[in-house]
Amino acid sequence: MDRYDPHAIEAKWQQIWEAEHAFEVSNERVQPKSYVLEQLPYPSGSLHMGHMLVYTIGDIVTHFRRRNGARVLHPMGFDSFGLPAENAAIREGGHPREITERNIANIKRSMKRIGWAIDWSRELSTHDPSYYRWQQWLFLRFFERGLAYRKAAPVKWCPFDQTVLANEQVTAEGRCERCGTLVESRLMEQWFFRITDYAQALLDDLDTVDWPESIKARQRNWIGRSDGAEVIFRIEELAVDVPVFTTRPDTLFGATFFVLAPEHELVERLAETAENGEEIREYVRRAAVKKTEERAAAEEKTGVFTGFHVVNPVNDERLPVYVADYVLTDYGTGAIMAVPAHDERDFAFAQTFGLDVRVVIRPRDGEAEDVPYVSGSDDDVLVNSGEFDGLPAPEGGRRIVDRLAAEGRGRFAVNYRLRDWGWSRQRYWGAPIPVVYCEADGIVAVPDSELPVVLPDVEDFKPQGKPPLAQAEDWVNVTCPKCGGPAKRETETMDTFVDSAWYFLRYCDPHNEQAPWGREIVDYWNPVDLYIGGVDHATMHMIYARYFVKVLNDLGMLGFREPFAAFYSNGWVTFGKTKMSKRAGNVVGPDDFVAEYGADPVRLNILFIGPADQDMEWTEEGVEGMARFVRRLWRIVNEVASEAPRGEEADGPLARKAHATIAKVTDDIGRRFAFNTAISAVMELTNELSRDTRGADSRFAAETAVSLIQPYAPHLAEELWQRLGHERLWGQPWPVADEAMLERETFELVIQINGKVRDRLQVSADASEEDLIAAATSSERVRSFLDGAEVRQTIVVPRKLVNLVVGANGTN
RNA sequence: GCCGAAGUGGCGGAACUGGCAGACGCGCCGGACUCAAAAUCCGGUGGCCUUCGGGCCGUGUGGGUUCGAUUCCCACCUUCGGCACCA
């Protein structure tokens, strides 16, 4: 028998798959179908172990579902715009496109070497004009409906480099990662999508998808629905109504002051007439410069009194109005009623400024409660609240809102933490935004017929007060599509989250030049049946993609409401510290191990380490052990191929074990996504097979082991399958366990006394309860334990155990 | 603070619906083969005790339900993760 040579075998089968287009699928609408998708990779220098894990999980499911009769779409592409390539170009010279395309070529070579069953005919890259052309087209559909709009929003700004910084370019200390200058906050006009319109739909439809609860919880948290009330306070001096949002209308009688966020639109109006107008303006200026995190971290609350008062609608009390930066401008209405007795932040402010604290909620039975007391449960009652005294807090709150509503001074309201999605970047390496700025007509869409607006080349990718694209003057200066007058192109680009919000739709119809996709095609393949990826994309990417699908559905462009019907979140892969330092300098990735052991052992091992949805540590010992198993399987199956008889009925114990393994592996992959225990099961079968490679059952057991391991180790399995005298395992139906062979003639009866195992007996499978009890009580060992004591109770679990309960005063 | 996940041998983990705790593998120990080593193969491997038959203990801690709990319930401890001046 020849030695196991993974490199030769893997090259051989990869060539055959490619020549036979083994994993390409057409869009012919055949059922059943399955769309198996992993989050597309960012093309950095090379693959890492995390990639190895995600794409192998998807690959196993792809093979499994194919062989179970589904038409499976399993595409691949590259999230190829973005900051790292641009920074590399600035650092090392060259063009981001060259760097990116070199990386793609490199990664693609690694992917093909690993042998994932990908339909490469559908490959796409988001930096390709044939892709972003349709992204621009989609943007225009959003834009014409007002779903994409511009507004001023704070950005992180480096005053030295004169540029906007992405969050990841700001150090933990709040400095520019390049020059170390303290980063400022600046208001700038930016592009947004109106995702907040869909907050409730994004929340509700989580109930319709099969995702891990933890991922759903993160999205719910991110959307952050709060139920409460909007209550109108009035500044009588100015005859202005100022609404506030509160989740605690039950505490309205406890309001003792009122706060506006520094950015609130009313603040400037107050400053105009206030005696201390300049002090107010100065406070606002200082607050604007501070980062949100800095504001939150402040030891003491700061603020300034305006001299104005508002009227509390529940009791017509006059409350002093402050401006303070602990109130956020972009949540609720940017103004709050302050109830220091029942809110920690208001309490802290009241302490600093010596303001009244009025208790209006008490525990029903206690009294000496701490202030602030924030609970508002049914065990609390209202006090100092006029007609509402004595009511449980939640009910009291509802009644207060009812009364305010009747008076037109309040209503029940819902608020979300979710903010509109800001997606424009002052960066070069992204999709151009197809609008122009015209002095006469304002923002004007580029006509569909002029798409794509192709990203022009520039000399320098460093932003210098303006986005790099501003350098491309020939490109920037155009005529307005509306009036024909002079206009300038948008020089900001789209964030990569836009690119990845719809790529799974383009895979379905990647070469369409008339439209982003054909609706029947997209409706056939979608929603994605299994989406696989990391938890780090649980919020942003996966909320944005859901938002896109909902909008596109409302626009009639597709017929579903959710992109990802099921989601599997893979764990993180780490290396031990010793391994890291041993190969200091270069990151250890799958390429290194594939070169040493071959792709199949690496594929197997990444899933054998542990449950794929939990974090795991990759070790050299582990992959060595797996290589040992693979060689063992190789040797045993080769022996079977040459030694075991053909065409004999396989119905002995080894055949039964094989059927049991089929059942186990099918359930593990198909239902439980327990990829590690499926491998264990095949190992067990292999161990049993190794005891007899020449018997009548051996051939069946070997064929079963090879067939079941195929999704994990497709090259090895294919080669062994051929040696067993067959062809094209990847196209073979998945094996089905014979129910009759799963039935056992005998089983091991466990006999317990008072719940402790005392004996095990082989018993006929069709023994009656009475037979089991008789067998149990006649056992010598059992008798010695019973020693004549009275059996008070006998529990019989058919085909499992007998538990004899003897009295506590028994003499056992 | 709110939300989520997890605690099992020396290690990764298994036990799916309440029924034999530790499958499978790593590591380690012993043996075979070898001049020797590696590789390979065979056997052993939770702890304590043992008259070698076996016995007792054991799934983060303390309670509870049950004939029976790693699994269900209550309280707590520890670790990891998300959100967070969100009114």
Q: What is the distance in angstroms measured between the alpha-carbon CA of A202 and the sugar C1' of B77?
A: 37
Whole-number distance in Å between A91 CA and B23 C1'? 53
- pLDDT at position A811: 34
- A121 and A129 Cβ atoms separated by less than 8 Å: no
Protein-to-nucleotide distance from the CA of A752 to the C1' of B67, whole angstroms: 10
Q: Is the CB of A799 under 7 A from strand B?
A: no
Contacts of A696 (CB under 8 A, 6+ apart): A644, A645, A648, A649, A650, A652
- List, for residues A625-639, the tens digit of each pLDDT value: 999 999 999 999 999
For A594-626, what is each residue's pLDDT tens digit? 999 999 999 999 999 999 999 999 988 999 999
pLDDT of A577 above 70? no
Distance A199 CA to B5 C1' (A): 26
Antiparallel, parallel or unpaired: β A410-416 and A225-235 = antiparallel
Proximity of residue A793 CB to strand B below 7 A = yes
What six digits make up the tokens of A533?
């990826």
Nucleotide nearest to A536 (CA to C1'): B82
A619 CB neighbours strand B below 7 A: yes
Range in A172-176, A440-444, A505-509 with the lowest mean pLDDT: A172-176
> CA of A612 vs C1' of B6, distance in Å?
15
Q: How far is the CA of A15 from the C1' of B87 (A)?
A: 64
Q: Residue A586: is its pLDDT beyond 50?
A: no
- Return the pLDDT at A792: 84
SS3 A605: helix
SS3 A141: helix
Residues 704-743 of A with CB under 7 A from strand B: none
Amino acid A631 CA to nucleotide B35 C1' distance, rounded Å: 28
How large is the ipTM? 0.95
A433 or A741, greater pLDDT? A433
Rounded to two decimals, what is the model's pTM? 0.93
State pLDDT tens for residues A181-229. 877 777 789 999 999 999 999 999 999 999 998 899 899 999 999 999 9
Q: Is A169 helix (H, G, I), strand (E, B) or coil?
A: helix
Of A580, A652, A575, the residue nearest A619 (C-alpha):
A575
For residue A581, name the pLDDT band (cuts at 50, 70, 90).
Answer: very low
Distance A629 CA to B32 C1' (A): 21
Name residues 321-350 of chain A with a Cβ under 7 Å from nucleic strand B.
325-328, 331-332, 334, 336, 339, 343, 345, 348
- Which of chain A's residues 484-523 bind strand B, using a 7 Å CB cutoff? none
Which CA-bearing residue is nearest the C1' of B39? A628
Give the pLDDT of residue A152.
87
Distance A572 CA to B17 C1' (A): 31
Q: Which of residues 756-775 of A touch strand B (CB under 7 A)?
A: 756-758, 760
Q: Is the pLDDT of residue A511 over 60?
A: yes
CB A227 within 7 Å, strand B: no
Q: Please say whether the beta carbons of A763 and A781 come within 8 A.
A: no
Q: Which nucleotide is nearest to A346 (CA to C1')?
A: B87
A812 pLDDT exceeds 50?
Answer: no
Measured over all CA atoms, what is the biggest interatomic distance in chain A, rounded to whole angstroms? Answer: 108
Contacts of A237 (CB under 8 A, 6+ apart): A308, A309
Nearest nucleotide to A672, CA against C1' atoms:
B16
Residues 6+ apart with CB under 8 A from A213: none
pLDDT recorded at residue A582: 37
Cβ of A539 near strand B (under 7 Å)? The reply is yes
Nucleotide nearest to A632 (CA to C1'): B40
Q: Which nucleotide is nearest to A214 (CA to C1')?
A: B4
- Residue A673 to residues A56, A207, A532, A610, A665, Cα–Cα distance (Å): 12, 21, 12, 12, 10
Proximity of residue A200 CB to strand B below 7 A: no
Query: Where do the DSSP E strands lie in A535-624?
Result: 567-570, 573-575, 616-618
- In the predicted structure, residue A580 carries a pLDDT above the cut 50: no
**Residue A443, exposed/middle/buried by CB under 10 A (0-12, 13-18, 19+)?**
middle
- Between residues A364 and A259, the one the model is more confident about: A259
pLDDT band at A758 (very low <50, low <70, confident <90, very high): confident
The residue that minimises its CA distance to C1' of B82 is A218
Q: What is the pLDDT of residues A303-360, one digit of tens each?
A: 999 999 999 999 999 999 999 999 998 899 999 999 999 999 999 999 999 999 999 9
Can you name the residues that pair with A125 across neighbouring β-strands? Answer: A78
- What's the pLDDT band for A173 if we cut at 50, 70, 90? low
Question: Is the shortest CB-to-strand distance from A639 to strand B under 7 Å?
Answer: no
Residues 378-437 of A with CB under 7 A from strand B: 415, 417
For the CA of A627 and the C1' of B38, the distance in angstroms is 16
Chain A residues 345-364 with Cβ under 7 Å of strand B are: 345, 348
- The residues near A26 (Cβ < 8 Å, ≥ 6 apart) are none
List phi, psi (to 5°) of A75: -95, 180
Is the pLDDT at A496 greater than 70, yes or no?
Answer: yes
Q: How big is the CA angle at A241 (ends A239 and A247), to the nearest 5 degrees?
A: 155
Q: What is the pLDDT of residue A587?
A: 60
Nearest nucleotide from residue A754 CA, by C1' atom: B67
A605 touches strand B (CB under 7 A): no
pLDDT tens for each residue of A1-34: 788 999 999 999 999 999 999 999 999 999 999 9
Q: Are A788 and A761 in contact (CB under 8 A)?
A: no
Nucleotides on chain B that have an atom closer than 7 A to a protein CB are: 2-5, 12-16, 19-21, 23-27, 39-42, 55-56, 67-69, 81-87
A3 is near strand B: CB distance < 7 Å: no
Percent of chain A whose predicted confidence (pLDDT) is above 90: 72
A245 CB inside 7 Å of strand B: yes
Which residue is nearest to the C1' sugar atom of B80, using CA?
A: A615
Residue type, position A245, single letter: F
| Number of CB atoms found within 10 A of residue A438's CB | 20
Would the pLDDT of A294 be above 90?
no
- What's the average model confidence in pLDDT over A686-691? 93
Backbone angles phi, psi at A186, to 5 degrees: -135, 145
CA of A708 vs C1' of B19, distance in Å? 30
Q: Is the CB of A110 under 7 A from strand B?
A: no
- For residue A368, what pLDDT is reported? 53
Q: What is the mean pLDDT of chain A?
A: 91
Q: Tell me the CA–C1' distance in angstroms for A224 and B2.
A: 11
- Residue pLDDT, tens place only, A366-396: 665 678 888 888 888 999 999 999 999 999 9
Please write the tens of the pLDDT for every residue from A651-681.
Answer: 999 999 999 999 999 999 999 999 999 999 9
**Three-state secondary structure readout of A470-513:** HHCHHHHEEECCCCCCEEEECCCEECHHHHCCCHHHHCCCCCCC
Average pLDDT over residues A712-724: 97
Sorting pLDDT into bands at 50, 70 and 90, what band is A172? low
| A777 CB-to-strand B distance under 7 Å | no
Residue A812 C-beta-side C-alpha neighbours within 13 Å: 20
Pick out the nucleotide with least CA–C1' distance to A792.
B67
Contact between A110 and A595 (Cβ < 8 Å)? no
| CB proximity A610–strand B (7 Å threshold) | yes
Q: What is the pLDDT averaged over residues A405-415?
A: 96
Minimum CA–C1' distance nucleotide for A749: B20
